[in-house]
Amino acid sequence: MLLLGGAAWGGALAARAIGWWVLPAALGVGLLAWPSARGRGRAAVRTTAGLVLVVAAVGAVATLRLEQVAHSPVADLAREGAAVRLVGTVRSDPRRAEGRFGDIVTVRLDVREVTGRGATYALAAPVLVLADEDWADVPLGATVTAAGRLSPADGGDLAAVLGARGPPEVVDDPDRWWDAAAAVRASVRAAVARRPDAQRSLVPALVDGDDAAVDDTLAADFRTTGLTHLLAVSGTNLTLVVGFLLVLARWCGVRGRWLYAVGALGIAGFVLLARTEPSVLRAAVMGTVALFAMGTEGRERGSRALGVAVLALLLVRPDLAASAGFTLSVLATAGILLLAPGWRDALARWLPRWVAEAIAVPAAAQLACTPVVAAISGQVSLVAVAANLAAAPVVGPATVLGLGGGLVGLVWESGGRLLGTLAGWCVGWLVVVATRGAALPSAALGWGTGAVALALLTLVVATIALVGPLLLRRRSTGLGCCALLVATVLVRLPTPGWPPDGWVLVACDVGQGDALVLNAGPHAAVVVDAGPEPALVDACLDRLEIETVPLVVLTHFHADHVDGLPGVLDGRTVGAVETTRLLDPPEGVAAVSDALDALDGAALAAVPAPYGATRRVGQVSFQVLWPPADSPTVGPGDGSTANEASVVLLVEVRGLRMLLTGDVEPEGQAALARALPGLRVDVLKVPHHGSRYQDEDWLLSLGARAALVSVGADNDYGHPAPETLAPLEAAGVRVLRTDLDGDLAVIVDGAGDGTGEGGGLSVATR
């Protein structure tokens, strides 16, 4: 069954790549393998026939699904940019996200009727709605009508994106079970409403995947320590909840097949509570596999159940084959089923069996997922196993108590708050584990996301999986491995060749955001922007061995430039913080103020960067070119206006001239071109992460020899735009991107002439 599950996965991926050609391809491979199978007996013939059948079936379903989405009337109208009116059912809770022009609300609809271009079509198509606050309270499961303009969607699981105009009109209320699930979710939130912020946000996330209120910094700590699965609906959640229900049922005298009925009802209730999104269905199936594995012959039954689960899920939702979440769920479950028993038995030779099991399960799951996690995040967590071990004792109680608080709170508010308080105490320990673990010197090891780096990591993982039990079965080698891992975590690992000699500027890889570091002298730097997450910029500064920051410049107040400020301030001496004059958006201004207020024994306040004056900090000489001294200080809340007010710096270090542009828009770029004709630089930080909105003539006129694009991998904004990069590359500019190359270091080997010509400029990547 595991083999058939793998064949189903391969069929779904092949269908995405070659479409209907997957059918003749599967048949051709089957015919080639047939003679060999016949020579091996009936079992081999049946296996070969089964594999071909599964690949063809899942491939056909996947291709048909892709064709239906890509060629539905909704997709056709989206390609025309048509204004339409839709009727559909809400399939996801509204979620707030940051858009180009401010916060937006996203909702998924299953559209059953669309009217556009003078015609009405009845159909079934998934659509993502981008809307304003009018959609923030639309109930899950409701049937609504919506108007707006369609645009094409990326990926094969959506037919279109609707830019909604105005509020939705609810034409049919949700079914009762959706109302009941919403009431329980609200009751869970109410049960912990009086707890500290972290507990108030984490308990709902742990119980039913409601992670909307989880702080970005805390979420980053959970990622670093390998505890992210606790913030989303996972098979672990279902196993805990359903397992607790089965224990209660047995205590009440339920036996035999009725226990299966209780388990099925528990699974159905959990899915309704956590929402019927693909991630929840995936988690429910994997949790069911774990329940199978808990009985006698657990390894064999669990393995068969895993193969069946993969096959069934991909027949129903073939788009899951390309989902990172699905991949991680399957690999974690497979690691627990296939690797953990051998590791447990090896450790049990010199440890109590329950201790061996507690170590083997998270270690096997983490090891199996490591290559995929590295491909997504660019790092390998070294504290994940220890963090999961430390967290394990409270995960079950926190989940059960949190759910109990929600259920009891429906009929007895005080009782619900009592259980919520107990759940909050348990979750408080998770916060301690995540924050303290993430703060360790080598909590995570940076790793490349290229094919060679990931292939090498996969080889290392396979070697550890095979050799691990041999090393762990003896007390001496087992303790030696543990001591080596502890020493690695507690001592910061050097990055060979990093930072490179002669570096003057580093663009930190902080995802979708900016964080630039200018070398001001030994262990000192001027930092321009701080990225979206404190942990990422903190790690970058640690790699550069920066201890003192005489000046921080925040070009503007969008989250992807200021939310990482606590990471810059953590453990370093900071002299001053300067910002743009425009105090917008308010959330970003408040985030900066809160970060500065949280400093111990320091009195720092952000002040506007003075326009025009040339100043020097260490070996960094710089001038503020934008915004002008008479620019506004209060904005309309428009994201583009905040971008336009970005601080633009002309910097010189060791004779090399660099232009740091923040997210300045084309209008500001044109104004700079008029104010500073003939400006030439060596290095350009491409504005706004390489957005397609640029003044191309001005960018080319700068004569830069290198252009740096600070951008996050697979971001939703289409950054960087090919039409922005192509002219630069055609002009001979070397373009480097943090999403592809990691940290980017500009190096000067000798003094330039200060005109953008000459000098030993080179760029190294980490």
Q: How much is the pLDDT for 495?
A: 63
Residue 602 banded pLDDT, cuts 50, 70, 90: low
Non-local (6+) Cβ contacts of 456 within 8 A are none
The pLDDT tens digits of the residues spanning 440-450 come to 777 777 776 77
Q: What whole-number distance in Å separates Cα of residue 459 and Cα of residue 471?
A: 18
CB 124 within 8 A of CB 112: yes
Identify whether the C-beta of residue 436 lies closer than 8 Å to the C-beta of residue 444: no
pLDDT of residue 546: 94
User: Between 694 and 634, whose confidence is greater?
Assistant: 694
* pLDDT, tens digit, 9 for 90 and up, residues 465-499: 899 898 888 888 888 888 877 776 666 666 667 88
- What mean pLDDT do residues 76-94 have? 90
> Chain centroid to CA 257: how far?
41
Give this prediction's pTM.
0.67
Please tell me whether the peptide bond between 720 and the residue prior to it is cis, using omega within 30 degrees of 0.
Answer: yes
Determine the pLDDT at residue 755.
37
User: For residue 570, what pLDDT is reported?
Assistant: 87
Burial class (CB in 10 A: 0-12, 13-18, 19+), 204: buried
List the one residue out of 126, 122, 120 whose CA is nearest residue 82.
120
What pLDDT is recorded for position 753?
A: 39
Q: Give the model's pLDDT for residue 249.
A: 83
> Residue 516: its pLDDT value, please?
97
User: What is d(CA 553, CA 650) in angstroms, rounded to the nearest whole number?
Assistant: 13
What pLDDT, on a 0 to 100 scale, did the predictor assign at position 277? 65
Distance of CA 369 to the CA centre of its chain: 15
Residue that is written with structure tokens 């508010």 in the block = 413
Query: pLDDT tier at 752 (50, 70, 90 boundaries)?
Result: very low
Spatial distance between the Cα atoms of 89 and 171, rounded to a whole number of angstroms: 10
Residue 668 has pLDDT above 60, yes or no: yes
pLDDT at position 258: 80
From the number of C-beta atoms within 10 Å of its C-beta (0-12, 13-18, 19+), residue 270 rates as: buried
DSSP state of 338: I
pLDDT digits (tens, 9 = 90+) for 21-44: 888 888 888 888 888 878 888 888
- Torsion on CA atoms 511, 516, 517, 518, rounded to nearest 10: 160
Asked if residue 235 has pLDDT above 80, the reply is no
pLDDT in tens, 397-406: 888 888 888 8
Q: Is 260 exposed, middle or buried (0-12, 13-18, 19+ CB in 10 A)?
A: exposed
pLDDT number for residue 505: 96
State pLDDT tens for residues 508-533.
999 899 999 999 999 999 999 999 98
- Average pLDDT of the chain, as a whole number: 85
- Would you list the DSSP string of 113-161? EEEETTEEEEEEEEEEEEE-GGGTTPPTT-EEEEEEEEE--SSSS-SEE
DSSP 528-546: E---S-HHHHHHHHHHTT-
Report how far residue 595's alpha carbon sits from residue 577's, in angstroms, rounded to the nearest whole number.
11
Cα–Cα distance list, 505 to 315, 355, 659, 741, 743 (Å):
51, 48, 11, 15, 10
